[in-house]
Chains A and B, each alone.
Chain A
Amino acid sequence: MEDKKVLIVGGGIDGVSVALEEAAAGAQVTIVEKFPTLGAERIPRDRLIKPEDAFINPDLNKVRNDNNVSILTYSDLKKVNRDNGKVQAKILKHSLRVDNSKCNDCKACIKVCPVNMFDDFDESFSFRTAVDYFNPATGEYNIFKEDMPVCQQACPVNLDIRTYVGQIADGKYLASLATIRDRLPLPGSIGRVCPHPCETACNRQYLDEPISICFLKRYVADVELNGGIEPVYETPAKKLPEKIAIIGAGPAGLTCAYHLAREGYENITIYETLPVPGGYLWVGIPEYRLPKKLLQREVDLIANMGIDIQYNKRIGKDISFEDLKNNNDAIFIGAGCHRGLKLRAPGEDEYEGKGIVDCVTFLRDQALGNPIETKGKLIVIGGGNAAIDSARVGWRMGFDEVYILYRRTKKEMPANPWEIDAAEHEGVIIQYLAAPVEILGKDGRVSGMKCIKMELGEPDASGRRRPVPIEGSEYVIDAETIVPALSQATNLEFLGENHGLDINRWNTFDIDEETGATNVQGVFAGGDVVTGPDIAIRAVAAGKKAAEGIHEYLRSR
């Protein structure tokens, strides 16, 4: 046991005493503490308590003087790798924001510090300043700074929201747009469709209502668009030669390509099955929420960075995945979830294509302009945004009546509340607490659906109350078209056989959270193909992360 090394995360009283125990047993101990001091020593509230009089845990001096213990304060544990019975940890040590070698403890900084914050030492009983002495043992000063504002933390791509909203307040619209584009290449599109987790987190809501972060993004993108300004996305002069293939021109793939092009890669090819870019942004989100013209412009801006987008190229059919892997230095898979889940009701298979269309196909057909028969009634089953989109699209296409069937109530509906309200306002009939039982048909076509009323029972694993059918409450709705919009799943047939990639039981990829790397070297994945159906901004975040992962991988080869 002579080279036993122990890492202790947390330098509180327990951490310190365990460290001493382990050191006494002969191990090399490292303590990692998030705060600038070890836990048992405190900032004296004022200098009435002289350091020598203050209560200090006697273990602290022991642990500091122990040669087998090294102490890392003001450090964060970033990543832990397990390998062959050993653990490797990546630790970020922050530097102090005050040059303590020049500090003579005059306290002038405390007097002028403009930031009064609640003191975490006495549970916010009093104020202290952001700059403060914190360590009675060393007398060092530091400036406390929070990591990120809550909105930025809530945003999957960590957009610098405070800056870009502030720049809009200053009237610097183009500077604001540049700030957004540093992390998000599709501001106009995302600004229209994002369900904005940032606004859900916004602190302003406790005063009146959250800042409209999402629409502000849309606004600056529109200022540029309406002003006729054509930006150019810059790429560095120093080019990198590696070949990179990206599968899918959705938000994940486009973002990945954008960030790689900004690193200087010039041989980036995106393979897209559909004749149009954008993935679900094009074929899932209806025109009234996201105009295709605007999306096309944002895609063109990315493509103009020297990225080759090849449409109508299905991997596994036009090019095999194996060839792609052999001919490229790195591959990013951002294929999305383009397979609608089945209803599993009797009659569904029988009438598949004869009145039953899953929502993915339904929305794709209308987006691509494929003919859809629009007479009679339409029933959409489900309560997500895809269901509302299908219903509102159906209503616009000219169905006589449009129904949405959802088995819980409006409160549990996962769709954005404003979308539900808009659908109801337009005339879509939403039947809550109703579920399909059987698809009815006549002469080889759907003629209606037998439904059953539900009531809410005990909460289930997701925390929502489980719907329970009410015996004998069946009723029939006549309909010519039924669109199940339950959820979507991945379709990984394009990989072919013997691809060697780890695929989990949800039929998605297992990836490294930090880099987006799969278990096969040089193959990266991100977006819905990893997370299952999710929001666009998370796919953008995955694309960015994978671009960083690919860059790191290619440069360290």
Chain B
Amino acid sequence: MPPVSSPVGLRFENIDKRYGGLLALRGVSLTIAPGECVVFAGRNGSGKTTLLRIAARLVRPSRGTLSFSGDSTGGNENTVRPGFVAHATMVYDELTAEENLLLFARLQCVAQPENRVESLLQEVGLEGRRASLVRTFSRGMRQRMAIARALLHEPSVLLLDEPATGLDPQGVTWLAGTIRLLRDSGRTILMSLHGESEISSLGTRAVRLDAGSVVADTRTGATFRSILTFADA
């Protein structure tokens, strides 16, 4: 995994997100340094997914601002394109693995898209199924496709919303190895997880959300663990 030339940080300032009568996020303020690997924990509906979708700029906050900092282009939000792995795989069932990745590589103007797709298919272990339609894939294989799609343009910021969903134990080990490489290459990683796992141990910071608010935020051992396990620190 090539190192990132200019790591990017994020700054959420007083973010609210309202869906009709439901306040999904309440005054969330967080500054994430370039190269940090942040684990978001919290019960279902605590606002983790909404926060990641705001970071991906798929959802516009009702109030507050999101800014990126530290990249060579001055942190202009339009120049930072995070890689995003969501609950849904975000790939087309009717296209083959190779067609899917080529489609998104071309849309993102990736240089030499065929070579990039080839190397990613090998990295995620799907080179033998390149010509198979994604609808014939198992959940774990689809998740590998989702991760490959998110990495196509070698993003400086990675947003992973429960990335281990559907992966078998070997898949989780592979994913943990991949995230470790990405973290060590200087990429900023924000991921939402449920509980402690091989993947959560890669985090350098843990943030717990509850009912749309940040209720705990730490970088240290014992508190870090309690945030992930929902135990009182």
A is bound by B: no
| Chain A residues engaging chain B, CB cutoff 8 angstroms | none
